[in-house]
Amino acid sequence: MRAIGSRSSIIVLVGSVLSAGELAAQGNSSLSGSKIEYAEAQATAGALFSENEELRQQLAVQRESVKTLTDSLAASNAEAELFRR
């Protein structure tokens, strides 16, 4: 659920920046300034999406590691119980 909230937040942020850029382009601000802001917003969004994907991959690896360690601990505890008897 947390990843969905983060993704929604990123989409809202990018949408807001893009909308602000469009409004600025329609106003009295220079078109080149708007293009620069738009390019920066795209670069930021791209970087955030890349970082998000990398973090998802790291999380998957960590979850697998935790699962393996948990299984090993359960097996060790079962062996220890047998030796206690």
17-27 pLDDT tens trace: 555 555 555 55
CA pair distance 46, 62, nearest whole angstrom: 24
List Cβ neighbours of 22 (8 Å cut-off, separation of 6 or more): 34
**Residues 24 and 37: beta-carbon distance below 8 Å:** yes
pLDDT tens for each residue of 32-79: 888 888 989 999 999 999 999 999 999 999 999 999 999 999 999 999
Q: For residue 18, which of 43, 44, 37, 46 has the smallest C-alpha distance?
A: 37
pTM: 0.53
CA pair distance 13, 48, nearest whole angstrom: 11
